[in-house]
Amino acid sequence: MSEPSREQRFLDTAASRGLRPAGRTHVEKTLRELSSFFSRSMFREETARRPGLLQRVDPRARILVTLLFLVSVSLARSIPELLAHAILPLAAIPLSRIRPGEFLGAGFLIAIVFSVLMAAPATLNVFFDGTVIIPLIDNGREWRYGPYFLPAVIGITREGLLTAATFLLRALTSVAAVLWLTLSTRWADLLRALRFFRLPAIFLQVIGMTVRYTHALLRHSEETHLGKKSRTVCRTKVAAEQAWVGSRIARSWERSLHLMEEVSMAMSARGFTGEAKLIGGPWFGAPEWGLLLAVVLFCTGAHLA
């Protein structure tokens, strides 16, 4: 009879000790999902690097036109005006070589769902009076209890639909414009472009450093997680997993404090005395002025629609 292999001997020992494969614990899944969410939402810059028509325009001009557009959308009153406005972000997305799936995944789908959920009650005559055009429930008679009132026929009203459509168009058009800006512009460029708006330099410095070190700590957390995974042989108790996560949070905190101390020293070493100073960029060129003019003309035309 041949000797059992090394693997077999180990598996026999593991079985005798009641060890189970590590599997995928909910703690691990949560950590991975969290890390992936932050990486996706904050640092996905691949779309911003594509050679789209609008990526060639200075980010400052992109921020400026987005702000102008948002003001214009908020001033629009009628459905045709809002519909005309909606064309602009929808055209900007393919011009920036952003795929519809990426656009929806970046938050537009969530925006649609939540906007519809918010707007839906306003369409019913339960909350606001109006002319019912789509009856849903016929109670036969009205019901009143103190300040509460239910009409005999509950349904969708014309006025409610108009209100909901106005809200949805305004909200989703604005969200689309902001998403276009964030998908077509890298964080670094976005932060640099904000200087153009004369925001306090220290505020921009702090935001920039927050983004920078969130990334550094995120990477560190990912590495810690992978380090643990590489040495996790068998399944551990949930309580032990939670204790580990707790200890790592404390370690990350400690590490971030240490890093903060070092960053502060590095800043002092290069002459920082508490007053942030930032470098300005060159003034607008033809593409920037062109985009600005196009958006102004478009918004004016949309208001006349």
Partner 1 sequence: MTRTANVGEAVAPLLELTDIHYAYREGIPALSGLSLSVFPGERVAVLGANGCGKSTLLKLLAGLIFPRQGSYRAFGRKIDERLLSRDPFGIFFRKDVGILFQNSDAQLFNPTVEDEIAFGPLQMNDPAAEVRSKVQRAIEAFGIGPLASRAPYELSGGEKKKVAIASVLVMDPQVLLLDEPTAGLDPRSSRALVDTIVEAEKKGKTVVTATHDLHIVSEIARRVVVFGEDNRILASGTPEEILTNRSLLLAANLVHLHRHAHDDYWHVHEHEHHEIVHFHEHPDESPGGGSKR
Give residues in contact with partner 1 (CB under 8 A): 43, 186-189, 191-192, 208-209, 211-213, 215-216, 219, 259, 262-263, 265-273, 277-280
Q: What are the structure tokens assigned to 13, written together? A: 């020992």
C-alpha span between 181 and 184 (Å, rounded): 5
By beta-carbon proximity to partner 1, the closer residue of 269 and 304 is: 269
In whole angstroms, how close is the CB of 133 to partner 1 at the nearest point?
53
C-alpha span between 22 and 233 (Å, rounded): 6
C-alpha span between 46 and 35 (Å, rounded): 18
By beta-carbon proximity to partner 1, the closer residue of 162 and 211 is: 211
Q: Name the packing angle between helices 158-184 and 59-75 (round to 10°).
A: 170
By beta-carbon proximity to partner 1, the closer residue of 26 and 219 is: 219
Q: What are the structure tokens assigned to 83, written together? A: 């519909």
C-alpha span between 56 and 158 (Å, rounded): 44
By beta-carbon proximity to partner 1, the closer residue of 247 and 264 is: 264
Nearest to 127 by CA among 165, 154, 102: 154
In whole angstroms, how close is the CB of 286 to partner 1 at the nearest point?
21
By beta-carbon proximity to partner 1, the closer residue of 17 and 277 is: 277
By beta-carbon proximity to partner 1, the closer residue of 50 and 215 is: 215
In whole angstroms, how close is the CB of 210 to partner 1 at the nearest point?
10
Q: What are the structure tokens assigned to 229, written together? A: 């995974």
C-alpha span between 300 and 305 (Å, rounded): 9
In whole angstroms, how close is the CB of 183 to partner 1 at the nearest point?
16
In whole angstroms, how close is the CB of 278 to partner 1 at the nearest point?
7
In whole angstroms, how close is the CB of 115 to partner 1 at the nearest point?
32
C-alpha span between 228 and 180 (Å, rounded): 38
C-alpha span between 184 and 45 (Å, rounded): 8
